[in-house]
Structure 1
Amino acid sequence: MRSQDWEILKLLFENKNITKTAQSMYLSQPALTNRIQQIEKEFGTKIINRGRRGVHFTPQGEYLAKSAEEMVRKLQEIKENLSNMDNNVVGTIKFGVSSYFTKYKLPKLLRLFKNQYPNVEFQVSTGWSRDMFNALYKKDVHIAFVRGDYHWQGQKQLLFEEQLCIASKSEVNVEELPNLPRIDYKTDNLLKSLVDNWWSENYSKPPMVTMEVDQVDTCKEMVANGLGYAIMPGMILNGMEGIQKINLTVQDGLPLIRKTWMFYHDESLELKVIQAFVSFIKSLNIEDTL
């Protein structure tokens, strides 16, 4: 078995789709099919059946696929330990990063780190914070950058806080919000709950949502064009001119904030490359640097 074959089994079991798995592995479909046939030949058993609705694993194939996840992790651990034996900071850091942090913070952060440690490589997975948190929990990534307060018992570093605000092209009367057009955008459940709880504490009627868009950047453009107000973290509006902002507070007068964290496992610090990155982050003021 090639090390790549274990990765093929792992991804194919997750995707249940030949095309998607081939794309993830940067292989052609015939090449992927050939590797599967070679695996079946090596183990002397049928691994998958292909149908109209995708790939179905045989009991033997399912056993191999579940073993593949452990094998992939073990192979990665071996590579990391070998790299860790050198005095130089080398190796690959696997990140799970929220989409917002990926777009607005991560590129410069990685560039600054790469300037100090040119032999380090990066693997980055992006998505909703909850998915990145789960990837870290399963040890699919070394470090997760997530937005919101998740219950994490491992190592963590608070990176920055953002106050939530009302954003509008024109001045608004906060008391009149339920009667004004609101623009919502798809976001994670923690932020949605934060906003919903604030709303229920201040108003007895629901908001008048006239638009629900897919991304916060689209929402910003709608607000900038005077099509309604939105509730979002204030940092998202940095650099935008002509937008009125009203910072939100809770009933005791404290600001309504959203936190961004760096999470990682205790044992990850056994790797020099993770030690170096964590120390690098702790030496920065992320909000000012980025």
Structure 2
Amino acid sequence: MDERDFALLSTLQECNNISHAADRLSLTQSALSKRIKAIERELGCTLLIRTSKGVRFTPEGEVVLEHTARIRHELHDLRSYIDSTHDEVCGSLSAGFSVNYAALRLPKLLAEYHRSYPLVRLDVKTGRSLDLIKQLQTSQLDVAVVRGELPWDGKRYLLAEERVCVARSHELEQVPLGKLTYICHISDSSQSALMQRWLRENGLTDPKSTLNVADLHTCMRLVELGVGWALLPDIILEEFDGAVHPCTFANGEAFMRRMYICCHRETYELPQVNAMIDLIRKGYGA
């Protein structure tokens, strides 16, 4: 077995499907199946079985996954340590960014980082903040920009505070919110709890109608089209053409959503990680 086999098994675990895994690995299903059989012959055991719902790892397969994941992590740490001893900023860097940060700032950040540190091998992922924190916890990421109060015991820097606002089209500005459709977007549990608190304090827990969407951009666009109103952070409203009113809780506290940079204590001193953190903070004047 080699590192390609480690990646192959990890991809199979993530996809839970031979066809999807083959697509991600740029292999044919036949080639992937042959490689699995070769690994099984080498190890002398069956690693997985096919079911109507996809593939499932056998007990022996789960043990192999555990060991190969640990080996991949140790190899990554070894390469990162060796790379950090060079005079130039180089090496590998796995960075994750929340979808909203990615949509607004990521291309410019990556362009500037690549110009400044062309020798760094970048692996960039975007996604929901909760998913990024999980990837950070399992060492799939070195650094991540996330939104909300999520559990993390490594290094964490406050990047920005976003004011949550009521947003609606100008045409609906004078209509009571209770008579309009509430457009709700998916968020993490802590933010959802704050949204429910604000709705409860303002007597809006039983809206006329609701519309649930997956992301902030879709939510904002629907608001612009006059479909209803939404609670949105001001970071997404910079180019919003509509009425915006900052939210405050009953105790006078402003309704805020915070953005953080999170990284591992062990990798913080790596030049490529430190350079990325400095560049992100610079973008916010920190």
**TM score, norm. by length of structure 1:** 0.90
Deviation at 1:205, TM superposition (A): 4.8
Q: C-alpha deviations, 1:266-287, integer Å up to 9, x for none?
A: 10124221122223334x142x
| Partner residue in 2 for 1:51 | 51
| Partner residue in 2 for 1:15 | 15
> Which is further off, 14-23 or 103-112?
14-23
Q: Does 1:197 align with 2:202?
A: no
Q: Does 1:133 align with 2:133?
A: yes
Residues 99-138 of structure 1: pairs in structure 2 closer than 5 A? 99-138=99-138
Specify the SS of the correspondent of 1:198. helix
User: Which stretches of structure 1, 4 residues or more, deviate above 6 A after TM superposition?
Assistant: none
Whole-Å separation in 1 of the counterparts to 2:22 and 2:232: 38
Whole-Å separation in 1 of the counterparts to 2:109 and 2:204: 43
Q: Does 1:98 align with 2:105?
A: no
Note if contact 1:147-1:259 (Cα within 8 Å) is conserved in structure 2: yes
| Partner residue in 2 for 1:249 | 248
Q: Does 1:61 align with 2:61?
A: yes
Deviation at 1:46, TM superposition (A): 2.0
In structure 1, give the amino acid aligned to 2:58: T
Q: Does 1:219 align with 2:219?
A: yes
Whole-Å separation in 2 of the counterparts to 1:285 and 1:102: 13
> Which is further off, 203-212 or 66-75?
203-212
| Partner residue in 1 for 2:280 | 281
Distance 1:151 1:56, change over 3 A: closer
Q: C-alpha deviations, 1:13-52, integer Å up to 9, x for none?
A: 3332112222232222222212212211211222222232
In structure 2, give the amino acid aligned to 1:254: E
What runs of 5+ residues in structure 1 fail to find an aligned partner?
none
Note if contact 1:178-1:205 (Cα within 8 Å) is conserved in structure 2: no
Deviation at 1:2, TM superposition (A): 1.6
Note if contact 2:199-2:205 (Cα within 8 Å) is conserved in structure 1: no
Deviation at 1:162, TM superposition (A): 1.0
Note if contact 2:183-2:212 (Cα within 8 Å) is conserved in structure 1: yes
Specify the SS of the correspondent of 2:267. helix
In structure 2, give the amino acid aligned to 1:172: E
**TM score, norm. by length of structure 2:** 0.91
Specify the SS of the correspondent of 2:260. strand
Q: C-alpha deviations, 1:126-172, integer Å up to 9, x for none?
A: 22111111111121110111101123221111111111111111253
Distance 1:220 1:122, change over 3 A: same
Whole-Å separation in 2 of the counterparts to 1:153 and 1:25: 33
What runs of 5+ residues in structure 2 fail to find an aligned partner?
none
Residues 22-33 of structure 1: pairs in structure 2 closer than 5 A? 22-33=22-33
| Partner residue in 1 for 2:146 | 146
Distance 1:223 1:14, change over 3 A: closer
